[in-house]
Chains A and B, each alone.
Chain A
Amino acid sequence: MPTILGELAGVESKSSRYLSLHVSTKIFLPLSFAVAIFFATDPIKALLLAAASAGACVAAGVPLSAIKRYLAVIVSMSSFIVLAFSLFTHIPGKTLFEVTLLSMQAEKGVFEWKLSLTDTGLTYALTFILRIFAMILSATLLMATVTDRDFVWGLLSLKVPFGACVATSLFFRGLQLFASDFYTIREAMMARGVDFERTSLAKRFLLYVNALIPLLSLMITRSYEVSLALESRGIAPGSRAASGYYTFRMRRDDYAVIAVSVTLIIVYVLWGRIP
Chain B
Amino acid sequence: MSRAVSVEGLWWKYVGRSDHALRGVDLEVERGEFFAIMGHSGAGKTTLILVLTGIIPQRVPGEFRGRVEVLGMSTVSQDVSEITKRVAVVFEDPEIQFVMSTVEDELVLSLEPLGLSREEIRERLKWGLELVGLDKSFLGRSPLQLSGGEKQRVAIAAAVARRPELLILDEPTSDLDPVGKEEVLAAIRKLRDELDMTIILIEHESEFVAELADRVAVLSEGRVAAVGEPRYVFSRYDELKSHGVYPPDAAAISFKLGLDTICRYGDLFRALESVRDRLFVHADRIPNVEKVGEGEVLVECRDVEYVYPGGFRALKGASLTIRGGELVALVGPNGGGKTTLAKVVSGLFRPSMGEVLVLGRRVEEYDRLTLSSLVCYVYQNPDHQIFNKSVYEEISFGLRIRGLSERVVRERVRRALEVFGLKGLENEHPFFLSKGEKRRLALASAYVLDPKVLIVDEPTTGQDMRFNESLFSNLKALTREGRAVVTITHSIALASKYADRLVVVKDGRVIADGHPRSVLLSPAADEGRLIKPQAMRLAKQLGLTAAPVSAEEFLEIVTLR
Contact = CB atoms under 8 A, between A and B. Distances in A.
B348 interface: yes
B84 A166 contact: no
Given A193-B449, A245-B121, A185 B387 contact: yes
A246 B111 CA distance: 13
B348 A162 contact: no
Interface string A76-119: 00000000000000000000000000000000000000000000
Interface in B94-142: 96-102, 105, 108-118, 121, 140, 142
A229 to B, nearest CB: 4
B110 A233 contact: yes
A172 B383 contact: no
A242 B114 contact: yes
A210 B55 CA distance: 34
A244 B118 contact: yes
B101 A230 contact: no
Contacts of A187: 348
Given A184-B384, A217-B383, A191 B109 contact: no
B377 A241 contact: no
Given A191-B377, A210-B388, A214-B384, A236 B81 contact: yes
Contacts of B373: 193
Interface in B504-535: none
A169 B144 CA distance: 14
A190 interface: yes
A243 B93 contact: no
B332 to A, nearest CB: 21
A234 B401 contact: no
Interface in A186-202: 187-195, 198
A213 interface: yes
Contact of B84 (A153, A211, A225, A231): A231
A118 to B, nearest CB: 47
A190 B112 contact: no
Contacts of A152: 100-101, 105
Contacts of A230: 99
B142 A1 contact: yes
A225 B55 CA distance: 12
A242 B115 contact: yes
Interface string B364-381: 000111001100111101
Interface residues of B, number: 65
Contact of A243 (B50, B121, B346): B121
A232 B97 CA distance: 10
A184 B379 contact: yes
B102 A229 contact: no
B164 to A, nearest CB: 10
Nearest to A211: B387
Contact of B372 (A1, A185, A193, A232): A193
B363 to A, nearest CB: 13
Interface in A124-181: 147-149, 152-153, 162, 166, 169-170, 172-173, 176, 181
A214 B431 CA distance: 9
Nearest to B445: A192
A185 B113 contact: no
Given A190-B348, A229-B96, A243 B115 contact: yes
Contacts of A184: 379, 381, 384
A166 B117 CA distance: 20
A192 B117 CA distance: 55
B446 interface: yes
Contacts of B97: 226, 229
Interface string B54-91: 01000100000000000000000000110011011101
Nearest to B54: A231
A243 B117 contact: yes
B93 A234 contact: no
A228 B89 CA distance: 10
B112 A236 contact: no
B81 to A, nearest CB: 5
B491 interface: no
B461 interface: no
B379 A188 contact: yes
Given A231-B55, A242-B113, A192 B118 contact: no
B87 to A, nearest CB: 8
A77 B88 CA distance: 54
Interface in A201-224: 210-211, 213-214, 217-218, 221-222
A10 B57 CA distance: 46
A217 B377 contact: no
Nearest to B96: A225
B93 A225 contact: yes
A31 interface: no
B125 to A, nearest CB: 9
B269 interface: no
A235 interface: yes
B80 A234 contact: yes
B428 to A, nearest CB: 14
A214 B80 contact: no
A20 interface: no
With most chain B CB atoms within 10 A of its CB, the pick from A148, A192, A211, A245 is A192
A15 interface: no
Contacts of A191: 346, 348, 372, 376-379, 385, 446
A19 to B, nearest CB: 14
A234 B85 contact: yes
B386 interface: yes
B101 A169 contact: yes
A162 B99 CA distance: 13
A51 B117 CA distance: 46
A235 B109 contact: yes
A60 B401 CA distance: 52
Contacts of A170: 99
B53 interface: yes
Contacts of B108: 243, 245-246
A191 B216 CA distance: 43
B219 to A, nearest CB: 19
B237 interface: no
A233 B113 contact: yes
B482 interface: no
Nearest to B377: A191
A210 B394 CA distance: 11
B112 to A, nearest CB: 5
A198 B371 CA distance: 15
Contacts of A214: 383-387
Contacts of B117: 243
Contacts of B98: 173
A263 interface: no
Contact of B387 (A1, A213, A243): A213
Which 4 residue pairs of A and B lie closest in terms of their CB atoms, listed nearest first? A242-B115, A234-B84, A195-B368, A193-B372
Given A193-B398, A233-B88, 6 more contacts: A191-B346, A191-B348, A191-B379, A193-B373, A228-B91, A245-B118
30 contacts: A1-B140, A1-B142, A152-B100, A162-B112, A166-B109, A184-B381, A188-B385, A191-B379, A193-B402, A194-B401, A213-B387, A214-B383, A214-B384, A217-B383, A217-B386, A228-B55, A229-B96, A230-B99, A231-B59, A232-B88, A233-B88, A233-B110, A233-B158, A236-B80, A239-B81, A239-B113, A242-B115, A243-B108, A243-B121, A245-B118
